[in-house]
Chain A
């Protein structure tokens, strides 16, 4: 019995013993047995040998003891592990196949995991804001005139505040640009101006200091500014001493009071958020009294017990009341409406269609990858049918055979998943930076565990799917077309038809062949869908890039010279412009200098289309006044930009304040209003309260060619140009250069800052580069989709080529016979190519049908979905057919080179 009680340790809860413990127990037993035998007089060696002999086979014993604890599952898992080991070994012998499968799966799994991570991060993750589920974004839109968000005016917000009960509190935010002086270099920053409730409504906290509070409201309060976390950490190195600093925001000063916690910047990615007093514009009578002076974004927090539907119904009702009370501010044609959305959905909305399309593209790549892998596995299993048949004949159950296949596909898919997840990590960053163009939330997307479980579950799905692709040989059916009979033959066992077919020649059954072709066709079809999509995007991009913009693109440099004041230019500004223009004009390599208010495309939407009237012109019955873009340009602008003057004269320095009001109009406007070509010297005026209660007619002195600085795709544009020195906004300089335009940036900056020390000089770029910058999202779109399509094409090519190669190697004998009876190698080559062509053609037809079906479904969810034109479709088809023919060439060449004797000997 136990000799040393002290050494005993208690293990009260029965838990499965480890292998080491089992070994210890067995050693303990053997030690006792040996001791006993030695006591009985056996020699130590003999005792040891006998003890071991009596005990039995140790590993088996250990397994039996273990099995008590694990039961049936242990057996199965062990068998599976065993099978996987075998699978791994047999795959090591087929390295090429294994590598193809693993890489194919990795691409499919990686793409899906990466995109899913981004989708989850952008569309599904809650915001950091306290009580974010009760946070609303309220939008006023005017679908009648195609405006998605008109924002709100001060009187409108006042009405909502007074009447709404479903909203506990409203917060106001308007975006402004400030010239910021006092934090680093003077420069223009995007800023928000908010009321005292904004931060409380949004549920945001300060990282340090405090945020704008109700006590900061009113136009007598001191100016205060909150820094956004991004600005504070990236530009100011998280310097806490910034609190209390006084900064200059345009013409006003403000004290930095705090730093906002990291949060999604919405509606604008700002660097600073200040109280209203910092923006003189917000204190103006126009802002406060005019119902149509809309520039504020409205947020709300739901009252307790109210739902978003309650809020939507109530606010819509209030809005209808406001509309009937103020018909002049809500023209019927505008059809103004109120909509209420959860802030989270509002932020995600622009990215949703793009991400869902990407997710669909990734899913398609996965389907292609799986069907390709299925093909490879199927081809392999045909070669393995013999082995499986032997195992079945020896009594392996169907389950056991399935398990063998499952183990092998698990090994493959596991490796694919590992590689896929590794691939996905960098892909997340790429996709996130892509998605960031549509939703700011993508900036915070990080690699998380979802990547892993998406990868793993996709791999599992693929593994199970793949294990069920090959048909199992049946051991019982004597007339089975595959498997055993053939194997019996190949093993030389004999049998009724046992004429000793040499091993190494595989026969492919019609059913297997059909399956292989179906999978290959599927790949081609799906690849075609992706290719066609990518081709459409590329075609659009090419069309946009090559469009004639009406400007001289390469030689014109656009520079931002932001003004301190947001409003109309002052005399002081004009004098400054004049000086800058004169000095820059003298620089060598400068052919012309002018000023304006709008950099083409980059500033799109800055100055809207305004209704106007013209003498001798009345809109047709029931039609509204026509609208035109308003632009402010200095003399020589059209020459600098390369826009031809078609009639009349350019502006001169005499077109200034106090002199006659004049304008230049675009060709489209002149033709629309004065179809007989007599536009010169007629008068036009704006119809908008902003320009005063009475119309102020101005004489048309010139007509210029159309130049669309708003739209990337050029349309006919009605534009009215004012002389900048007479009225308007400034802030943009244009320089026409005969040398490299960028070489002028430095001397120009020196001139400007020599004249005005704190004047920012920013974003210098040629018009060509501005356009490229604006086209970047389209380019990125096309790039990402082309990437997907490229991967799909690659996989499909491998698939088609694989199927044909397999077919050829399985039909060596047939080709031999054909050659023997007089077929030429050329005919065989063509025959294989033809087979490839059939697969591709059927695939393309199926892909077109599927693509249109899918697009039909998708277009009911997304607006703006355009069906691809014929040219991109044909292009995609051509690429696919070309690739497929290239892929068929190798197997076809092999077929034509079949050695007759070799082939027939194998019979």
Chain B
């Protein structure tokens, strides 16, 4: 928990964490720690997911039926909870991806009108 925000680091946009989690799980089951790591490493460490947001988000997604969980043994040789996309989760991911590109387009249009 960094006490002062790292200027290099980007803050996650409100509401995008769920989408990133779903996206990360697209290729298979993963535990919470792995998901957090995957998001940071894929963002070249520019995005840092706080555990305080990550785990409630995982439980929220599981409760809505987009994820399911199983217990397994992690690479640290310890019990860990693995999350996995459900069919509903896949559909949701597709929806969120569409919404996201729409949003990026629209915001891009506003921010860079010249580029059009």
A interface with B by C-beta (< 8 Å): 1-5, 7-12, 14, 17, 21, 24-29, 31-36, 53-56, 61, 64-65, 67-69
- B33 A33 Cβ-Cβ under 8 A: yes
- B70 A29 Cβ-Cβ under 8 A: no
- A28 B80 Cβ-Cβ under 8 A: yes
With A28-B81, A56-B51 given, is the CB distance from A3 to B73 under 8 Å?
Answer: yes
- Docked complex Cα distance between A841 and B74 (Å): 80
- Extra 13 A-B pairs, beta carbons < 8 Å, given A14-B68, A68-B60: A2-B72, A2-B82, A3-B75, A3-B77, A4-B72, A7-B72, A11-B69, A11-B70, A21-B81, A28-B76, A28-B81, A56-B51, A61-B55
Smallest beta-carbon distance B56→chain A, Å: 5
Task: Report which of A1, A7, A54 forms a contact with B71, defined as CB distance below 8 A.
Answer: A7
Smallest beta-carbon distance A75→chain B, Å: 14
- B79 A1 Cβ-Cβ under 8 A: no
With A1-B30, A24-B81, A28-B31 given, is the CB distance from A8 to B72 under 8 Å?
Answer: yes
Which residues of chain A are within 8 angstroms of B18 by Cβ–Cβ distance?
Answer: none
Which residues of chain B are within 8 angstroms of A2 by Cβ–Cβ distance?
Answer: 29, 72-74, 82
- Docked complex Cα distance between A400 and B63 (Å): 29
Which residues of chain A are within 8 angstroms of B34 by Cβ–Cβ distance?
Answer: 1, 32
B78: Cβ under 8 A from any A Cβ: yes
CB-CB nearest in chain B for A68: B59
Which residues of chain B are within 8 angstroms of A35 by Cβ–Cβ distance?
Answer: 75-76
Task: Report which of B29, B31, B56 forms a contact with A67, defined as CB distance below 8 A.
Answer: B56
B96: Cβ under 8 A from any A Cβ: no
Smallest beta-carbon distance A62→chain B, Å: 9
B15: Cβ under 8 A from any A Cβ: no
- A29 B52 Cβ-Cβ under 8 A: no
- A29 B60 Cβ-Cβ under 8 A: no
B108: Cβ under 8 A from any A Cβ: no
CB-CB nearest in chain B for A60: B52
- A61 B51 Cβ-Cβ under 8 A: yes
Among B34, B79, B81, the most chain A Cβ lie within 10 Å of the Cβ of: B81
Task: Report which of A3, A11, A26, A65 forms a contact with B74, defined as CB distance below 8 A.
Answer: A3
B114: Cβ under 8 A from any A Cβ: no
- Docked complex Cα distance between A25 and B31 (Å): 9
- Docked complex Cα distance between A33 and B75 (Å): 11
Which residues of chain A are within 8 angstroms of B1 by Cβ–Cβ distance?
Answer: 53-54, 56
Which residues of chain B are within 8 angstroms of A25 by Cβ–Cβ distance?
Answer: 32, 55, 80-81
- A29 B32 Cβ-Cβ under 8 A: yes
CB-CB nearest in chain A for B27: A1
- A29 B56 Cβ-Cβ under 8 A: no
- Docked complex Cα distance between A14 and B52 (Å): 21
- Docked complex Cα distance between A34 and B74 (Å): 13
Which residues of chain B are within 8 angstroms of A7 by Cβ–Cβ distance?
Answer: 71-73
CB-CB nearest in chain A for B60: A68
Smallest beta-carbon distance A898→chain B, Å: 60
Which residues of chain B are within 8 angstroms of A17 by Cβ–Cβ distance?
Answer: 59
Which residues of chain A are within 8 angstroms of B75 by Cβ–Cβ distance?
Answer: 1, 3, 32, 35
Q: Which 6 A-B pairs have the closest CB atoms?
A: A28-B80, A31-B78, A35-B76, A32-B33, A68-B59, A8-B70
- A28 B51 Cβ-Cβ under 8 A: no
- B55 A11 Cβ-Cβ under 8 A: no
Which residues of chain A are within 8 angstroms of B5 by Cβ–Cβ distance?
Answer: none
- B76 A34 Cβ-Cβ under 8 A: yes
- Docked complex Cα distance between A10 and B68 (Å): 9
Which residues of chain B are within 8 angstroms of A65 by Cβ–Cβ distance?
Answer: 55-56, 59
Which residues of chain A are within 8 angstroms of B73 by Cβ–Cβ distance?
Answer: 2-4, 7
Smallest beta-carbon distance B78→chain A, Å: 4
Which residues of chain B are within 8 angstroms of A32 by Cβ–Cβ distance?
Answer: 31, 33-34, 74-76, 78, 80
Smallest beta-carbon distance A545→chain B, Å: 74
- A69 B74 Cβ-Cβ under 8 A: no
Which residues of chain B are within 8 angstroms of A55 by Cβ–Cβ distance?
Answer: 51
Which residues of chain A are within 8 angstroms of B70 by Cβ–Cβ distance?
Answer: 8-11
Smallest beta-carbon distance A63→chain B, Å: 10
B7: Cβ under 8 A from any A Cβ: no
Smallest beta-carbon distance B77→chain A, Å: 8
CB-CB nearest in chain B for A33: B33
- B56 A14 Cβ-Cβ under 8 A: no
Which residues of chain A are within 8 angstroms of B29 by Cβ–Cβ distance?
Answer: 1-2
Which residues of chain B are within 8 angstroms of A28 by Cβ–Cβ distance?
Answer: 31-33, 74, 76, 78-81
Which residues of chain B are within 8 angstroms of A3 by Cβ–Cβ distance?
Answer: 72-75, 77
20 A-B pairs (CB sep. < 8 Å):
A2-B82, A3-B74, A3-B75, A3-B77, A4-B72, A11-B68, A14-B63, A17-B59, A25-B32, A26-B55, A28-B76, A28-B80, A31-B80, A32-B78, A35-B75, A36-B37, A56-B52, A61-B52, A68-B59, A69-B63
Smallest beta-carbon distance B32→chain A, Å: 5
**Beta-carbon contacts of B1-24 to A below 8 Å, as 1s and 0s?**
100000000000000000000000
Task: Report which of A8, A14, A29 forms a contact with B51, defined as CB distance below 8 A.
Answer: A29
- A27 B79 Cβ-Cβ under 8 A: yes
CB-CB nearest in chain B for A34: B76
- Docked complex Cα distance between A307 and B76 (Å): 79
B28: Cβ under 8 A from any A Cβ: yes
Smallest beta-carbon distance A47→chain B, Å: 11
- Docked complex Cα distance between A32 and B78 (Å): 8
- A29 B79 Cβ-Cβ under 8 A: no
Task: Report which of B33, B50, B65 forms a contact with A14, defined as CB distance below 8 A.
Answer: B65
Which residues of chain B are within 8 angstroms of A67 by Cβ–Cβ distance?
Answer: 56
Which residues of chain A are within 8 angstroms of B63 by Cβ–Cβ distance?
Answer: 14, 68-69
With A8-B82, A24-B79 given, is the CB distance from A29 to B33 under 8 Å?
Answer: yes
- Docked complex Cα distance between A68 and B62 (Å): 10
- A5 B56 Cβ-Cβ under 8 A: no
Which residues of chain A are within 8 angstroms of B81 by Cβ–Cβ distance?
Answer: 21, 24-25, 28
Smallest beta-carbon distance B34→chain A, Å: 7
Which residues of chain B are within 8 angstroms of A53 by Cβ–Cβ distance?
Answer: 1
- Docked complex Cα distance between A11 and B70 (Å): 6
Which residues of chain A are within 8 angstroms of B77 by Cβ–Cβ distance?
Answer: 3, 31
Smallest beta-carbon distance B75→chain A, Å: 6
- Docked complex Cα distance between A547 and B73 (Å): 92
Smallest beta-carbon distance B37→chain A, Å: 8
Which residues of chain A are within 8 angstroms of B50 by Cβ–Cβ distance?
Answer: 56
Task: Report which of A29, A34, A56, A69 forms a contact with B80, defined as CB distance below 8 A.
Answer: A29
CB-CB nearest in chain B for A38: B76
- Docked complex Cα distance between A11 and B50 (Å): 26
Tell me the residues in window 36-61 of chain B with beta carbons closer than 8 Å to chain A beta carbons.
37, 50-52, 55-56, 59-60
- Docked complex Cα distance between A56 and B80 (Å): 19
Which residues of chain A are within 8 angstroms of B30 by Cβ–Cβ distance?
Answer: 1
Which residues of chain B are within 8 angstroms of A34 by Cβ–Cβ distance?
Answer: 76
Smallest beta-carbon distance B55→chain A, Å: 5
CB-CB nearest in chain A for B68: A12
Smallest beta-carbon distance A1→chain B, Å: 7
- Docked complex Cα distance between A54 and B65 (Å): 29
